[in-house]
């Protein structure tokens, strides 16, 4: 199957996108911050340059003024201002030659008292012209002045001082410096930036001629209007420019200072490249970590899918091989859909199998029921006839044969009972009773029942009962009796000239907190014992210690298996200890309830074999042999019988005559026993109720209850013998029982 | 009973002191020093107002730094470097759209003045244009004593020049003669007035109080820039100045100072320096 990783891919892509966005955002933000920082640093630099330029200009202005004052204090110059032209020229040339050679000033002008220029050096003004420079007129009034003049190729800063001779102002002296392109070039070298000096109307000087082309008129206007430095950056050339408004003495100008920031921006670019590399490294690491994380997160989903596929495979036996579309979730949903479909199919198959099994079970039950019925019916005839035959005068040989017939019949009966019990156990159909019983009486009875058989084999059977045993407990006495009887019977069977002990004790070591009393039941013998190999097979059906056992001692091998199951059903466990040739010990612990009432249950006294019952009994029986058997038995018990062969006749007979007891077979033609009992009960409603006892080969667990539900009062399973029939007659016909028979009076059940 | 009464009195006194302390603490916290940067037009008169305001109360201090122009005030307000600024004109739409509010202080005549050596008394519109065009260079041509006219001008965007150009249309865009000095700020104009006795320039009248020398105010076409002539409209060249602020950042000190300017005391100071106060708000 091809796996699709739609969600994994989507999550990974989303993760990559988020990381890309965050990294990109971080890069852009940091890059912008860096750019801003660099820009601010460059702006600070040009701002500093602006301050330096202003200070330098101020210094130049001051120097010019000081020089003017110094020269004006020279009396020679004052004299020259009043002398004739020829002598003045010579005088001033000699005086000022040294001054110009030191290049401390760029120009010098002297006027007389009428503001007429009488001397000039470094100036374009003509001698004899009237000076138009601001401050000359004022200087003639005694005031020092300084003024800026915009020239064709620069700005001139002029300091004007009055010339005095004997306290009288004879003229003015003006010194000046040119702030032209040469001056700016010199200044530019000092501060490391190209400069342009711009007046309101035009650029007046520049340190680099090429800069004039790059002037930004808008920035110049802004600087003039706003009176603040205006910054411009040229992204292409990485040049930073500041348009700095300055006041040179008394005139406003803008100085453009340009610095090369390319080195700084190269550093910025390098930093950006490093940031990109770092971001890429982080991105790759994050993507790898993200893919791992997503894989881990999706692992449970993949496991779920694989489990689901395995389940599908297990359920269907076919591995899902088709290619799925969609992502992990939809593919898992697809597999789960398959699983659901497989489960539904399996459930349907299981339901069909269950129905088939139930049908088979029903068939098996029906088979067992039919088999039981069909075996018990002739067996009733065999055993009944044999018992009747034994009651007739017989030769010893004939008596031996009849005993053999009886023994074989009983064996067959036991085998049938064991098979039915085992079938019920395997079908988990065994239902336990929880009724009060006397454990002492039960164990005593069992001891009594087997004591004579043991004695016949030269074995002494002893019963040991714990004196602290309560007189009444709650449990299933029938099953307990069955187990103990079986174990005791086995002990008798496998012990010759030995000893058998049947015991029951209160087991104080078991937990009593649940309100239960634990009893330990033991059956010990000194018989043939069992070897270790045989012990392992002992509790398997149809298994005895060895094959010779069957030959020597008979039996089906079902007894111990049934006992073990019954003990376990009652909450205990059957244990075995045995030594070959020395004997066997079997024991089990069982919990019993303690009834609230301590009244002892009624104990039926056994009926004397000589007791007779002069009563009228209606018998419904369709089997000819069994008719004869029941007729003979009732006759032997002193009863008068009317025998009919189906239920319909029984109903009619009950209507026509009065009977003390009705023995009703269940499976009969025309009208079965259940319907007949119901009809009789209907006829007798409000009148005398004649007891009806089922006499039937239906000997399964539910059969008794079915009979009672049909209106019958009791139940007697075939094969029946004289003792059981006697007890039933005693139970249900006591008032009519003949007196003086020495039998105790039975108490009918309510 | 007496003990209970004593306790109540003590508790009452304690509570009053506590409340007083809280009030003083809050008051101390809210005391503020504000600086009002900006135009030179209203610099002098605003300084007088600030001085009077500071004297009238002792919680806030208002200072008026040297001129940076109206542009400087707007720049500082937009950069949140100042909470209130002084402007030489009402705000434009683009400026109010940025959240600025204008507070008018009053109207001030823009006057033509000469240095202390000027004796001329009046000037006409045409003479004014000729002076700045370099056609008239001596005060004798204007009826005064002989002396060169040291004409001082301002750039086209200057508030005073724009006020003049609203009346004398061509003045706003005329090209000055090269002998005219153009300064950047009002204080520079005042400095040249002081330096050159025969200087000539223009400025709103209250700003000229900052001059150290006694200046000569010229009548325009024979109309003197008196308060009465301004109020009557006979003297036509006036400018309006005031304060600008962002309502969202205006502090208690700014509000109180503006309230003081609008008060009778503030109006009296404005009138004292020739400013026609704005109508009561």
A252 touches chain B (CB under 8 A): yes
Shortest CA gap A238–chain B (Å): 27
* Residue A462, pLDDT score: 94
In A272-307, which positions are buried (b, 16+ CB within 10 angstroms) versus exposed (e)? beebeeebeeebeebeeebbeebeeebeebbeebee
Closest CB from A141, A200, A227 relative to B182: A200
Whether residue A250 and residue B188 make contact (CB cut-off 8 A), yes or no, is yes
Lookup: tokens for B269: 């100071």
Least confident of A321-330, A483-492, B140-149: A321-330
Whole-number percent of chain A with pLDDT over 70: 88
Whether residue B195 and residue A250 make contact (CB cut-off 8 A), yes or no, is yes
Q: How confident is the model at residue A552 (pLDDT cuts 50, 70, 90)?
A: low
Shortest CA gap B266–chain A (Å): 30
**Maximum average pLDDT range among A650-654, A683-687, B10-14:** A650-654
Long-range contacts of B16-23 (CB under 8 A, 24+ apart): none
Q: How confident is the model at residue A150 (pLDDT cuts 50, 70, 90)?
A: confident
A245 touches chain B (CB under 8 A): yes
In terms of pLDDT, which residue wins out, A40 or B78?
A: B78
Report the greatest alpha carbon distance in chain B: 100
Lookup: tokens for A730: 């005693």
Strands (E) located in chain B: 33-35, 61-63, 84-87, 100-114, 122-123, 150-154, 181-183, 199-204, 216-220, 238-246, 276-277
Strands (E) located in B46-191: 61-63, 84-87, 100-114, 122-123, 150-154, 181-183
The CB-side HSE value for B13 (13 A sphere, CA atoms) comes to 5
Which residues are CB-neighbours of A14 under 8 A, at least 6 positions away? Answer: none
Whether residue A138 and residue B197 make contact (CB cut-off 8 A), yes or no, is yes
A218 touches chain B (CB under 8 A): no
Closest CB from B182, B184, B192 relative to A227: B184
Which residues are CB-neighbours of A643 under 8 A, at least 6 positions away? Answer: A618, A619, A620, A621, A627, A630, A631
Q: How confident is the model at residue A50 (pLDDT cuts 50, 70, 90)?
A: confident
Residues A407-436: pLDDT tens digits? 788 878 877 887 777 777 777 777 888 889
For residue B201, the chain A residues in CB contact (below 8 A) are: none
For residue B195, the chain A residues in CB contact (below 8 A) are: 138, 145, 250
Residues A277-297: pLDDT tens digits? 888 888 888 878 888 888 888
* Residue A746, pLDDT score: 33
Whether residue B195 and residue A145 make contact (CB cut-off 8 A), yes or no, is yes
Residues A459-473: pLDDT tens digits? 999 999 999 898 889
For residue A138, the chain B residues in CB contact (below 8 A) are: 195-198
Q: Which residue of A has its CA nearest to B147?
A: A137
ipTM of the complex: 0.75
* Contact yes or no for B216/B116 (Cβ under 8 A): yes
Least confident of A199-203, A613-617, B103-107: A199-203
Rounded Cα distance between A699 and A719, Å, is 10
Least confident of A12-26, A209-223, A598-612: A598-612
Name which of A115, A202, A244, A250 to mutate to probe chain B: the one with the most chain B Cβ atoms within 10 A of its Cβ: A250
For residue B179, the chain A residues in CB contact (below 8 A) are: 132
Whole-number percent of chain B with pLDDT over 70: 89
* Residue A688, pLDDT score: 82
Please say if the pLDDT value at position A25 is more than 50.
yes
Lookup: tokens for A550: 């069957």
A727 touches chain B (CB under 8 A): no
A250 touches chain B (CB under 8 A): yes
Name which of B73, B195, B197, B199 to mutate to probe chain A: the one with the most chain A Cβ atoms within 10 A of its Cβ: B195
Please say if the pLDDT value at position A377 is more than 70.
yes
In terms of pLDDT, which residue wins out, A700 or B109?
A: B109
For residue B148, the chain A residues in CB contact (below 8 A) are: 132, 137
A168 touches chain B (CB under 8 A): no
For residue A134, the chain B residues in CB contact (below 8 A) are: 150, 181, 196
* Residue A235, pLDDT score: 76
A114 touches chain B (CB under 8 A): no
Least confident of A153-162, A413-422, B272-281: A413-422
For residue A141, the chain B residues in CB contact (below 8 A) are: 197
Whether residue A251 and residue B192 make contact (CB cut-off 8 A), yes or no, is no
Pairing of strands A230-234, A460-465: unpaired
When pLDDT is averaged across residues B52-71 and rounded to a whole number, the result is 93
Whether residue B71 and residue A228 make contact (CB cut-off 8 A), yes or no, is yes
* Residue A35, pLDDT score: 79
Shortest CA gap B179–chain A (Å): 8
Lookup: tokens for B121: 């008394």
A111 touches chain B (CB under 8 A): no
Whether residue B72 and residue A226 make contact (CB cut-off 8 A), yes or no, is yes
A392 touches chain B (CB under 8 A): no
Closest CB from A138, A141, A227 relative to B68: A227
Name which of A140, A225, A254 to mutate to probe chain B: the one with the most chain B Cβ atoms within 10 A of its Cβ: A225
Whether residue A226 and residue B198 make contact (CB cut-off 8 A), yes or no, is no
Whether residue A134 and residue B196 make contact (CB cut-off 8 A), yes or no, is yes
Residues A245-260: pLDDT tens digits? 888 888 888 988 888 8
Q: Which residue of A has its CA nearest to B75?
A: A226
Please say if the pLDDT value at position A742 is more than 50.
no
Strands (E) located in A185-284: 194-198, 203-206, 230-234, 239-248, 251-260
A229 touches chain B (CB under 8 A): no
Residues A435-468: pLDDT tens digits? 899 999 999 988 988 888 899 889 999 999 999 8
Q: How confident is the model at residue B106 (pLDDT cuts 50, 70, 90)?
A: very high
Q: How confident is the model at residue B146 (pLDDT cuts 50, 70, 90)?
A: very high
Distances (CA, A) of A86 to A81, A128, A661: 12, 13, 188
* Contact yes or no for A741/A611 (Cβ under 8 A): yes
Whether residue B183 and residue A250 make contact (CB cut-off 8 A), yes or no, is yes
Residues A617-642: pLDDT tens digits? 999 999 889 999 999 999 988 999 99
Phi first, then psi: give them for residue A579, nearest 5 degrees: -125, 125
| Best CA proximity match to B107, nearest among B262, B249, B238 | B238
Q: How confident is the model at residue A120 (pLDDT cuts 50, 70, 90)?
A: confident
* Residue A43, pLDDT score: 73
Closest CB from B157, B188, B196 relative to A138: B196
Please say if the pLDDT value at position A156 is more than 80.
yes
For residue B157, the chain A residues in CB contact (below 8 A) are: 225
Residues A600-612: pLDDT tens digits? 555 555 566 677 8
Find the chain B residues whose C-beta atoms sit closer than 8 A to any C-beta of A: 68-69, 71-72, 75, 147-148, 150, 155, 157, 178-179, 181-185, 188, 191-192, 195-198
Shortest CA gap A81–chain B (Å): 22
Q: Which residue of A has its CA nearest to B178?
A: A150
- DSSP secondary structure string for all residues of A486-541: HHHHHHHHT-SSSEEEEEEEE-TTS--TTS-EEEEEEEEE-SS---HHHHHHTTST
Size of interface A-B (CB pairs under 8 A): 56
Q: How confident is the model at residue A231 (pLDDT cuts 50, 70, 90)?
A: confident
Whole-number percent of chain B with pLDDT over 90: 74
Phi first, then psi: give them for residue A45, nearest 5 degrees: -65, -50
């Amino acid at each position: 199957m091809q796996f699709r990783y739609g969600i994994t891919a989507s999550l990974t892509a989303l993760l990559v996108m988020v990381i890309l966005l965050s990294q990109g955002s971080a890069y852009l933000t940091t890059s912008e911050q860096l750019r801003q920082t660099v820009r601010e640093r460059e702006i600070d630099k040009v701002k500093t340059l602006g301050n330096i330029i202003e200070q330098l200009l101020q210094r130049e202005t001051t120097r010019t003024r000081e020089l003017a004052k110094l020269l004006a204090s020279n009396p020679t110059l004052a004299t020259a201002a009043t002398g004739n032209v020829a002598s003045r020229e010579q005088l001033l040339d000699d005086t000022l030659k040294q001054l110009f050679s030191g290049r401390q000033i760029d120009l010098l002008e002297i006027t007389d008292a009428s503001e007429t220029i009488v001397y000039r050096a470094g100036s374009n003004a003509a001698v004899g012209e009237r000076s138009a420079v601001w401050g000359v007129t004022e200087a003639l009034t005694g005031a020092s002045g300084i003024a800026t003049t915009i020239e064709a190729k620069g700005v001139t800063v002029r300091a004007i001082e009055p010339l005095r001779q004997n306290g009288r102002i004879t003229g003015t002296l003006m010194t000046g410096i040119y702030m032209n392109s040469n001056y700016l070039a010199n200044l530019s070298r000092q501060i490391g930036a190209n400069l342009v000096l711009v007046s309101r109307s035009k650029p007046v000087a520049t340190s680099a001629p090429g800069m004039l082309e790059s002037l930004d008129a808008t920035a110049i206007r802004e600087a003039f209007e706003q009176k603040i430095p205006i910054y411009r950056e040229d992204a292409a050339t990485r040049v930073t420019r500041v348009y700095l408004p300055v006041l040179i003495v008394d005139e406003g100008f803008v100085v453009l200072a340009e610095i090369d920031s390319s080195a700084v921006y190269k550093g910025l670019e390098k930093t950006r490249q490093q940031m990109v590399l770092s971001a890429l490294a982080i991105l790759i690491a994050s993507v790898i970590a993200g893919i791992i994380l997503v894989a881990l997160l999706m692992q449970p989903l993949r496991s779920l899918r694989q489990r689901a596929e395995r389940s599908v495979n297990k359920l269907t036996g076919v591995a899902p091989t088709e290619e799925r579309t969609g992502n992990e979730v939809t593919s898992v949903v697809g597999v789960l859909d398959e699983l659901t479909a497989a489960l539904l199919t399996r459930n349907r198959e299981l339901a069909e199998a269950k129905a088939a099994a139930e049908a088979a079970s029903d068939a098996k039950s029906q088979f067992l029921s039919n088999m039981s019925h069909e075996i018990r019916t002739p067996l009733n005839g065999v055993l009944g006839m044999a018992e009747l035959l034994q009651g007739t005068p017989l030769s010893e040989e004939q008596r031996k044969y009849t005993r053999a017939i009886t023994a074989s019949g009983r064996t067959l009966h036991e085998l049938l009972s064991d098979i039915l019990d085992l079938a019920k156990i395997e079908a988990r159909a065994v239902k336990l009773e929880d009724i009060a019983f006397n454990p002492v009486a039960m164990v005593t009875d069992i001891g009594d029942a087997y004591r004579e058989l043991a004695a016949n084999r030269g074995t002494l059977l002893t019963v040991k009962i714990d004196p602290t045993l309560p007189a009444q407990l709650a449990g299933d006495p029938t099953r307990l009796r069955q187990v103990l009887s079986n174990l005791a019977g086995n002990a008798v069977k496998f012990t010759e000239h030995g000893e058998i002990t049947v015991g029951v004790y209160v087991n104080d070591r078991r937990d009593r907190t649940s309100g239960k009393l634990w009893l330990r039941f033991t059956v010990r013998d000194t018989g043939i014992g069992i070897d270790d190999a045989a012990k392992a097979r002992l509790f398997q059906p149809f298994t005895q210690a060895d094959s010779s056992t069957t030959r020597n001692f008979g039996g089906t091998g079902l007894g111990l298996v049934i006992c073990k199951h019954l003990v376990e059903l009652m909450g205990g466990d059957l244990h075995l200890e045995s030594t070959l040739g020395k004997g066997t010990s079997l024991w089990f612990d069982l919990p019993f309830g303690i009834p609230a009432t301590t009244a002892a249950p009624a104990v039926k006294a056994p009926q004397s074999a000589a007791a007779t019952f002069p009563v009228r009994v209606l018998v419904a029986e369709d089997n000819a042999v069994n008719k004869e058997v029941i007729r003979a038995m009732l006759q032997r018990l002193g009863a008068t019988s009317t025998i009919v062969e189906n239920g319909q006749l029984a109903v009619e007979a009950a209507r026509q005559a009065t009977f003390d007891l009705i023995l009703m077979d269940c499976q009969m033609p025309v009208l079965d026993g259940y319907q007949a009992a119901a009809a009789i009960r209907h006829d007798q409603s409000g009148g005398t109720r004649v007891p009806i006892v089922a006499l039937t080969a239906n000997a399964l667990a539910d059969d008794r209850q079915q009979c009672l539900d049909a209106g019958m009062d009791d139940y007697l399973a075939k094969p029946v013998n004289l003792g059981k029939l006697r007890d039933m007659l005693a139970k249900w016909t006591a008032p009519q029982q003949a007196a003086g028979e020495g039998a105790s009076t039975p108490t009918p059940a309510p | 009973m007496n003990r209970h009464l004593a306790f109540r009195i003590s508790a009452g006194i304690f509570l009053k002191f506590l409340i007083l302390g809280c009030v003083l603490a809050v008051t101390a916290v809210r005391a503020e020093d504000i600086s009002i940067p900006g135009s030179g037009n209203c610099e002098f008169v605003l300084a007088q107002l600030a001085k009077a305001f500071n004297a009238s109360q002792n919680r806030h201090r208002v200072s008026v730094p040297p001129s940076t122009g109206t542009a400087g005030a707007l720049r500082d307000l937009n950069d949140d470097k100042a909470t209130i600024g002084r402007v030489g004109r009402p705000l434009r739409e683009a400026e109010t759209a940025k959240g600025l509010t204008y507070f008018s202080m009053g109207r001030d005549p823009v006057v033509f003045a000469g240095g202390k050596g000027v004796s001329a008394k009046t000037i006409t519109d045409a003479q004014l244009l000729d002076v700045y065009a370099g056609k008239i260079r001596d005060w004798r041509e204007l009826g005064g004593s002989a002396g060169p006219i040291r004409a001082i001008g301002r750039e086209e965007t200057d508030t005073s020049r724009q006020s003049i150009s609203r009346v004398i249309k061509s003045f706003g865009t005329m090209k000055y003669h090269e002998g005219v000095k153009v300064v950047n700020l009002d204080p520079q104009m005042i400095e040249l007035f002081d330096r050159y006795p025969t200087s000539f320039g223009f400025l709103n009248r209250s700003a000229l109080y900052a001059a150290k020398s006694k200046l000569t105010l010229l009548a325009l076409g024979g109309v003197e820039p008196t308060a009465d002539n301004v109020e009557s409209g006979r003297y036509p060249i006036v400018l309006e100045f005031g304060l600008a602020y962002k309502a969202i950042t205006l502090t208690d000190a700014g509000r109180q100072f503006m309230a003081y300017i609008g008060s009778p005391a503030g109006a009296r100071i404005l009138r004292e320096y020739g400013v026609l106060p704005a109508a009561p708000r």
